[in-house]
A and B are shown apart, each in its own frame.
Chain A
Amino acid sequence: MRRIAAVARNTFREAARNKILYSLLFFALGLIISALALGQLSVHEDRRMIRDVGLFGVDVFSVLIAIFVGVNLLYKELALKTVYTILPKPIARWEFVLGKWLGVMATLVAQIVIMGLVLAATLMAEGGAAAVDAALAKALWLLLMNVTIVTSVAMFFSAFSSPFLSGLFALGVFVVGRSIPDVRALGERIGGGAGKLLGPPARCCPTCTCSRRRGRRWVGRRCRSMARSWGPAISDGPPCMR
């Protein structure tokens, strides 16, 4: 456990000292705060506008950060041969990969928490304390679950591909994963052989639609296949948020 924690801590430290990540984070924070101005343009929907734009910002930028960090960290270990210093130590390869993944996840948790806090502060600036509710926390939790899938896919590709290609692949999987309900619906509408052709891609890709907006609330959508996502327990959020 100490070894995994050491790799995770080091990975987090590496990400925390990466200037590009800060650029992405500041861009996301800028977008969230700019939602205040967009809220002014709407008619009696200021709070909803801020919440939607803010969550959109958190969603997009957390996925971008997940892909950026996920495709680079493992690849850099191999390309720069830093792994040659690590693996002769008494650490198993799976411990190393798990430590890297946990480090990336810690980075993403930190980023999402920062973005969430800024979003909450923006909402409170507009509508007071009542504007922030448990649904916001749940939405952020679900976005975090989405990025766990994206990070895993990005790290998987980075084990054997260049960062550019891994990024493209991971982004592709994410886009397809986001569109799975639409792909399924399209398959049902088309019907016949052509419709069935859309089945396998929809089944193979991890479902990245764990968080969906229903009416005015963000709720967890029960994922049908545990293999395609991290399962209902995660997608529905922790018990305290259900």
Chain B
Amino acid sequence: MTDGDPGSAARASEPDVVLRADDLAKTFRLGFFRKRVDAVRGVSFSVHRGEIFGFLGPNGAGKTTTLKMLMGLIFPTRGRAEILGRPVPDRQAKRRIGYLPETPYFYEYLTPEEFLDFAGALCDLPSAVRRQRADALLARVGLDHARGRPLRKFSKGMLQRIGIAQALMGDPEVVVLDEPMTGLDPLGRKDIRDLILELGRAGKTVMFSTHILPDVEMTCDRVAIVAGGRLRSVGTLASLLSPRVLSTEVVLRLAGAATPPALPEGARRLPGDGVTAVELPAGADVDGYLRAALGGGATVVSVTPRRESLEDVFVRQAAAGAPGSTPS
């Protein structure tokens, strides 16, 4: 674990910690024989004020269960959670939180305006404020054109948008989104990504779970990776990703009688359309290879060092959490 072992999880006394999970665990008892299923097995991390925090993990890793415990929807079997310095569930803390559940289901007989008004009333907002915020949020999530349409006629992407709008009705300090990009097309994903970044710029704390890694790389200040109900890593992207070069990809164009240089040991040729592409292993003499190529009459098109990506880390951590693997 990079910086978030249970002992070093942010303490309540830390002023900038807005959300803290301390050894959270949840065991479900399923079926007639009450078979034990450990969905979350002691997760500890903290989210700091004003940051965008990504909560990553493969399907079934325990992300949604952890978020439900943080929101007070289910009770942990062990451990404790705090939001804004108060133990979950707390009415005062709830006033300052917005939450989008996974695959949200809403009252399908309501129109977006009615639904947002309902969400605002639950946050104790006066009628005039509710109307004003509903108008602004409908415009912000791009549902202005559908304000009179019942939610049952909404597409999955539109439901996701109205879900985010209801989470923001109370103008919360902390926004927790469970898989906000699910079911959205690329344009919708970009909209939500922009919205998350906008919330971050407005000083709000955003925590969202996902397994769409490019979105995380583009938006998050810090990430936590869970797999098999355990926290595998938590930290900034820079601290999670190794700066070490794993391999170097060289693309050459061979004109006329030019010949490619001999491949160094461990190198392999990559498919290329009208060019010669080669992957040189870590530690290979790239300079020497390029000199040889230029000396042989080739033109260098590109040289790209490949470092560890979030996907590499994610796959490694997810594999560590797969059934049958040794817990880290």
Residues of A at under 8 Å CB distance from B?
A: 2-3, 5-7, 9-10, 13-14, 17, 80-82, 84-92
Q: In the complex, which residues 40-62 of chain B have their Cβ closer than 8 Å to any Cβ of chain A? A: none
- Complex CA gap A6/B114 in Å reads 11
User: Would you call A90 and B118 a contact (CB within 8 A)?
Assistant: no
Assess the A81–B124 pair: CB atoms within 8 A. no
Choice from A5, A80, A89 contacting B123 with Cβ under 8 Å? A89
Q: Which residues of A contact B105 (CB under 8 A)?
A: 80-82, 84-85
B28 contacts across to A, CB distance below 8 A: none
Question: B297 an interface residue at 8 Å Cβ cutoff?
Answer: no
- Asked whether, in the complex, the Cβ of A89 is within 8 Å of the Cβ of B101, the reply is no
Q: Is the CB of A3 within 8 A of B101?
A: no
Q: Which residues of A contact B121 (CB under 8 A)?
A: 2-3, 5-6
B150 to chain A, nearest CB (A): 9
Q: Does B180 contact A (CB under 8 A)?
A: no
Of B1-9, B91-99, B310-318, the stretch lying at the interface with chain A is B91-99
Taking a contact as CB atoms under 8 Å apart, the answer to whether B101 and A85 are in contact is yes
Tell me, yes or no, whether B188 is within 8 Å of chain A by CB.
no
Cross-chain contact B123 with A17 (CB below 8 angstroms): no
Query: How large, as a class, is the contact surface on chain B?
Result: 20 to 34
Query: Interface of chain A, helix or strand or loop or mixed?
Result: helix
| B72 at the A interface (CB under 8 A) | yes
Is residue B166 within 8 Å, beta carbon to beta carbon, of the partner chain? Answer: yes
The residue from B72, B109, B118 contacting A88, defined by CB atoms under 8 A apart = B72
Task: Judge whether B107 and A10 touch: CB under 8 Å.
Answer: yes
> Could you tell me the distance in whole angstroms from the C-beta of B160 to the nearest C-beta in chain A?
13
Q: Which residues of A contact B68 (CB under 8 A)?
A: 84
25 contacts between A and B (CB under 8 A): A2-B121, A2-B124, A3-B122, A3-B124, A5-B121, A10-B110, A13-B110, A14-B107, A17-B109, A80-B105, A81-B101, A81-B105, A82-B107, A85-B101, A85-B106, A85-B163, A87-B71, A87-B73, A88-B97, A89-B122, A90-B91, A90-B94, A90-B124, A91-B122, A92-B91
Q: Does B235 contact A (CB under 8 A)?
A: no
Q: Beyond the given A10-B110, A87-B71, could you list 4 further A-B residue pairs with CB under 8 A, ordered by the A residue number?
A: A6-B122, A82-B105, A88-B71, A89-B170
User: Are the CB atoms of A87 and B91 closer together than 8 Å?
Assistant: no
Say how far B34's CB is from chain A's closest CB, in angstroms. Answer: 16
Q: Given A81-B101, A92-B91 in contact, is the A86-B122 Cβ separation under 8 Å?
A: yes
Question: Are B109 and A14 closer than 8 Å at their CB atoms?
Answer: yes
Smallest CB–CB gap between B287 and chain A, Å? 57
Question: Which residues of B are found within 8 Å of A80, using beta-carbon distances?
Answer: 105
Please name all residues of chain B whose beta carbon is closer than 8 Å to the beta carbon of A2 when the two chains form the complex: 121, 124
The CA of A7 and the CA of B123, in the complex, are separated in Å by 12
User: Is B104 at the interface (CB under 8 A from chain A)?
Assistant: yes
Does B119 count as interface, using CB distance less than 8 angstroms? yes
Hey, which chain A residues are within 8 Å of B103, CB to CB? 81
A104 to B221, CA, bound (A): 47
Say yes or no: A85 contacts B166, CB within 8 Å. yes
- Which of B92, B118, B123, B163 is close to A10, meaning CB atoms less than 8 Å apart? B118
Most buried by B among A9, A14, A90, A91: A90
Contact B123 A90 (CB under 8 A): yes
- A87 to B90 CA separation, bound complex (whole angstroms): 11
Which residues does chain B contribute within 8 Å of A14, judged by CB atoms? 107, 109
Residues of A within 8 A of B122 (CB): 3, 6-7, 86, 89-91
